[in-house]
Amino acid sequence: MSNILKSPSGTGDKAKETTSSATSGITGAGKTVASTLGNTLGSATNTVGGVVGATTRGLGDTVNSATGGIGKPLGDAITNVGSGVEKAGKDVSEGIKKAGDMRQPEDAG
């Protein structure tokens, strides 16, 4: 009689495997979406930062060329702002991509 109340051997294990497999499939799909989104946004940020940075640097060079020594401090300042914007875009882009890949950023130190 005690055998009637017992579940067949392995049935509980199969249910656990199915649940685990479904959970890992959902997690994998979520990681794929996050990675794709992170890479897309990261690349777009990198592109925008690069374009804005290059444009600003070009403007600074133009100011330097047009004004000679008189406008050089202004031209250099504009060029430096452009370089800073481009670097910031790259840094933000890398952070977004790492977040999408669910990686931790390296220590700042």
Distance CA 109, CA 106 (A): 9
Distance CA 101, CA 55 (A): 31
Main-chain phi, psi angles of 71, to 5 degrees: -95, 5
> Which pLDDT score is estimated for 62?
93
Q: What is the pLDDT of residues 31-71, one digit of tens each?
A: 777 778 888 888 888 889 999 999 999 999 999 999 988 99
C-alpha triplet 52, 55, 59: angle, nearest 5°: 135
Span 1-19, average pLDDT: 52
Single pTM value for the model = 0.62
Span 85-97, average pLDDT: 90
| Residue with more model confidence, 76 or 34 | 76
Distance CA 83, CA 11 (A): 63
Q: What is the pLDDT of residues 23-42, one digit of tens each?
A: 565 566 677 777 788 888 88
Question: Token digits for 69?
Answer: 């020594």
